[in-house]
Structures are given as structure tokens and as C-alpha cells.
Amino acid sequence: MKKGTIPVRRCTEQFRSANFSAVADFRADVGERTITDIDIAALKVGHLFLGQAKVVIEPDSLYDRWKVLGKLHEAARQLDRTLEALPRFRDALLGRLGNEVKLEVIVPFIVTNSWQFTGITVPSYPVVDFSYLAFLLSGATPTAITARKEAIVIGNANSYIRGRQPTAEEMAQLIRRPIYEDSFPEGVRRLKLVKIGPYKIHLPFFEMEV
């Protein structure tokens, strides 16, 4: 099984649950030759989302982070080829998605399993992680934790979308500019390795630049 198949298929199902037409692992064939492949393709109201996935080992050093960035640049080059060849297989892709629509917006993006890279661009494509996409597609409602004298209260904060599911426009905006940027505009994402007995845990945190 191809590395990353399970999270890609799960993400595709999440797009479908949010009323997007979606397919995973679409092979763009022209004649007898496959010219490109798309890990995730989703369509809603004239917006075509094209996602290239890279599943990586969570980096905990500068060298590991450099290696992951190299893989993300590979995904970017794949997206370059996809967009360049899109006119040649557009009708076949829309046929798989089951929609005869006029395309208005194309949203290419890179998706990975590492939260550290959500919010960056490589080199011009937005990078998001699978958990962030799942959050958006399930309602984009964060958890609010309030400390009171008598107890810790856990509830829902205000959603980042208007309805229960994201519109095509909302999805495009939140992929291009993830909410993390607004929450931590000056932060640098890092993972801290904590060892507890025989276990190793990577804890996300923000290092503030001053």
C-alpha cells in the first residue's frame, strides 16, 4: 500500500461528508501515458481543490525539518505539473467528480501529517495538515476551556464558518490563510521532545520571536 494512502482516503471521505464531490488518487491519463496523479481532488460550487500529500516522520531537529521541507518541495513540483497539464485531463477529472460545472476557482495545496508546517507556503502553495482539514470540514468549531473557581468548563467557541459545513469560498480562504496565523502571528512552531519512562512524546509549542 502506498505510504499515506490511509490519511488521504480518510481526508477524501471527510470532504464528501461536508458535501464536496471528492476522489482520491486520481491518475491523469492522456493516451496510454499517465502524465500526473492527484492525491485529493474535491469540487464544490465551481471551486476545484487539488491536494498533493506528503506523509512524513515528525521532525524534531533542524536537519529533520530540512528533509521534510525537501519532500514538500517535491509536492510543489508535482502541483506545477498538475496545473500545467490540467486542460488536457480536466473533463475526465470533472467526470469522475460527477459534476458538470463551470470552474471558477482552482485551489492547489499541499497536505501533510505534520502540524509544524501548516501556514507556510512552498514555494507558493499553501501547506496544511490533515487534522486541520478535518477540523474545517467538521464545522471549524474550536474547543473553549474556561477556568473557574469551582471547575474547568469545556465548551465550544465561535466557529470560523457561518454554517455547519464550510462553503467553497470559506474552505478556500481557510486553506490559503490558516487560522493559526491569526492566533499566533509572531510565533514559530516547534515540537519539544519529552521522555516519560519508555515513551517519547512530541509536544507542540510556539517560540515567540522578540
Answer positive or negative: Cα dihedral of 131, 132, 137, 141. positive
Which tens digits make up the pLDDT trace of 119-148?
Answer: 999 999 999 999 999 999 999 988 777 767
Most confident segment among 16-25, 82-91, 200-209:
16-25
Residue 190 has pLDDT above 60, yes or no: no
17 lies in some domain: yes
User: How many domains does the chain divide into?
Assistant: 1
Domain membership flag for residue 148: no
Please say if the pLDDT value at position 183 is more than 70: no
Q: Is 66 among the domain residues?
A: yes
Confidence of residue 22 (pLDDT cuts 50, 70, 90): very high
| pLDDT greater at residue 178 or residue 102 | 178
Helices (H), ranges, 98-167: 130-137
pLDDT band at 69 (very low <50, low <70, confident <90, very high): very high
Pairwise CA distance, residues 138 & 148, whole Å:
29
Residue 21 lies in a domain: yes
DSSP per-residue letters across 57-103? PPP-SHHHHHHHHHHHHHHHHHHHHHHHHHHHHHHHHHHHHT-----
69 inside domain: yes
In a domain, 74, yes or no: yes
In this prediction the pTM is: 0.82
**Domain range for residue 22?**
5-139+165-208
Mean pLDDT of 31-51: 90
Residue 165 has pLDDT above 90, yes or no: yes
Confidence of residue 5 (pLDDT cuts 50, 70, 90): confident
pLDDT of residue 186 exceeding 50, the answer is: no
As a whole number of angstroms, the distance between CA 18 and CA 15 comes to 5
Mean pLDDT of the chain: 85
Q: Which pLDDT band holds residue 200 (cuts at 50, 70, 90)?
A: low
Q: Find out whether 157 and 143 touch, Cβ atoms under 8 Å.
A: yes
Lookup result for grid cell 507558493: 124
**What's the pLDDT at 154?**
75
Residues 6+ away with beta carbon under 8 Å from 116? 58, 59, 65, 189, 190, 191, 204
Helix (H) or strand (E) holding 10: helix 5-17
What whole-number distance in Å separates Cα of residue 47 and Cα of residue 6? 25
Q: Are 172 and 47 in contact (CB under 8 A)?
A: yes
**Does the residue 85 lie in any domain?**
yes
Give the phi and the psi of residue 107 in degrees, each rounded to 5: -120, 95
Residue 160 falls inside a structural domain: no
Per-residue pLDDT tens over the stretch 75-111: 999 999 999 999 999 999 999 998 667 888 999 999 9
